[in-house]
């Protein structure tokens, strides 16, 4: 038998349990996790002051107004129609390319979208102010791009018809005068510019070249027609960077011998001009201009056949490759952006004029070597 004293039966005093503190490394680790979660949330929600350029829809100028690769549509219309003229069968494609823009001043992309685009070769990140100058609304930008598309179509028709040997009235017209410029008070909106120093002016580029040749040291004699009356005025150009200007916005006015209708909605800007011109030439010419090949390209064009630089050319090369093209016509003045960024399997020709592009078409048609044709180097 076990005996207990009163003291033995009293419960022992309780002691509080020992608290185990987490290691310092664990605290630091969870702090980083929390900070990362907050940062991720911020990046996902806070808009970035950038927009993202990425490849947009591709359209075959020899086909319909539906994007290449889209399901057949009963509403599709021929992209180029020339109703009053004999047109000829075509083959392959002459693709024009577009760029889609993610973001605008009213709806900017998130930092996560921007960060992802930085590491995607087919995308480009641009400051929003470079694409939408301060004070320019999205609606104003869309309206301007729509007008540029209309003007580029007119210039493309002119370039094609001039190449095919058609004759028709085409005038260089003063469309804007900069206040305080050398032309202010001398020229008027609506004046037709005929000559510079006695040399005929067939297009805006020739006007620029002749003024540059005149220089800023002496007056240029400019022949004009105003309200049907011919006269000559003198204007001394002023230097503006590497060139000289008189302070006018000049454009073209055409009276075409027949209608050429281009059906392409919801696409803006002037960069499809070259491919419109090639598509028109192909439709109005016997044979297959591209030899039945799939050719893509980009570049502005004027009535004299000069091919000019455009934006978003890297994205357009990826769009061309994804649409199944092996050949690409790029403005020579864009080669610095092309070199080092050409997708595998795409050969890029450098063209300055419509004649350069037609030389590529001739080589493809005759299955001749393209080795001697100017290209943008791959690297």
Domains along the sequence of the chain with CATH? 52-99+137-164+256-365 (3.30.230.10), 170-253 (2.30.42.10)
| Residue 139 binned pLDDT confidence (cut-offs 50, 70, 90) | confident
Asked if pLDDT for residue 368 goes beyond 50, the answer is yes
What is residue 71's three-state secondary structure?
Answer: coil
Average pLDDT over residues 334-357: 95
What does the pLDDT look like over 172-220, one tens digit per residue?
A: 999 999 999 999 999 999 999 999 999 999 999 999 999 999 999 899 9
Say whether pLDDT at 62 is over 50: yes
Distance CA 199, CA 223 (A): 9
Q: Mean pLDDT over residues 1-13, rounded?
A: 45
d(CA 310, CA 298): 8
User: Exposure pattern of 40-76 as b/e (b: 16+ CB <10 Å)?
Assistant: eeeeeeeebebbbbbbbbbbbbbbbbbebeeeeeeee
Model confidence pLDDT, tens digit, residues 89-129: 999 999 999 999 999 988 999 988 999 999 999 999 999 99
- Average pLDDT score over the chain: 90
- Summarised one tens digit per residue, pLDDT across range 256-272 is 999 999 999 889 999 99
The CA R_g of the chain, rounded to the nearest whole Å, is: 32
Percent of the chain exceeding pLDDT 90 equals 74
Q: Which residues contact 229 (CB under 8 A, 6 or more apart)?
A: none
Q: Which residues share a beta bridge with 199?
A: 196
Q: Looking at mean pLDDT, say which of 39-43, 47-51, 316-320 comes out highest.
A: 316-320
pLDDT at 370 (0 to 100): 86
Q: Stretch 228-238: mean pLDDT, rounded? A: 97
Question: What is the band of 282 on the pLDDT scale with cuts at 50, 70, 90?
Answer: very high
CA–CA dist 353, 176 (Å, integer): 27
pLDDT greater than 70 at residue 17: no
Q: What is this structure's pTM?
A: 0.86
**From the centroid of its chain, how far is CA 352?**
17
Of 253 and 2, the structure prediction assigns the larger pLDDT to: 253
């Amino acid at each position: 038998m076990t005996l207990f004293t009163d003291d033995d039966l009293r419960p022992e005093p309780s002691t509080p349990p020992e608290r185990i503190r987490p290691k310092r490394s664990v605290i630091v680790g969870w702090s980083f996790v929390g900070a990362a979660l907050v940062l991720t949330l911020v990046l996902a929600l806070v808009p970035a002051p950038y927009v993202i350029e990425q490849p947009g829809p591709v359209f075959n100028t020899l086909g319909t107004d539906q994007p290449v690769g889209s399901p057949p549509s009963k509403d599709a219309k021929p992209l180029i129609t020339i109703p009053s003229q004999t047109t000829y069968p075509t083959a392959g494609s002459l693709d024009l390319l577009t760029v889609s823009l993610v973001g605008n001043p009213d709806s900017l992309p998130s930092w996560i979208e921007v960060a992802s685009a930085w590491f995607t070769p087919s995308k480009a990140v641009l400051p929003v102010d470079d694409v939408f100058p301060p004070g320019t609304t999205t609606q104003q930008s869309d309206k301007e791009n729509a007008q540029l598309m209309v003007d580029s179509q007119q210039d493309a028709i002119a370039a094609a018809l001039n190449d095919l040997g058609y004759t028709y009235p085409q005038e260089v017209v003063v469309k804007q005068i900069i206040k305080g410029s050398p032309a202010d008070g001398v020229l008027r909106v609506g004046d037709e510019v005929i000559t510079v120093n006695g040399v005929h002016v067939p297009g805006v580029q020739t006007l620029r070249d002749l003024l540059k040749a005149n220089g800023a040291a002496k007056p240029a004699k400019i022949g004009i027609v105003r309200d049907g009356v011919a006269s000559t005025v003198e204007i001394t150009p002023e230097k503006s960077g590497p060139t000289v200007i008189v302070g006018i916005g000049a454009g073209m006015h055409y009276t075409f011998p027949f209608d050429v209708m281009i059906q392409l909605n919801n696409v803006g800007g002037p960069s499809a001009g070259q491919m419109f011109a090639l598509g028109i030439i192909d439709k109005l010419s016997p044979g297959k201009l591209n030899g039945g090949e799939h050719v893509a390209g980009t570049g502005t064009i004027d009535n004299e056949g000069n091919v000019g630089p455009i934006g978003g050319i890297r994205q357009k090369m990826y769009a061309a490759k994804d649409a199944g093209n092996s050949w690409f016509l790029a403005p020579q003045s864009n080669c610095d952006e092309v070199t080092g960024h050409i997708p595998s399997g795409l050969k890029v020709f450098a063209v300055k004029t419509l004649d350069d592009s037609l030389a590529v078409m001739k080589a493809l048609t005759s299955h001749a070597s393209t080795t001697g044709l100017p290209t943008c180097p791959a690297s």
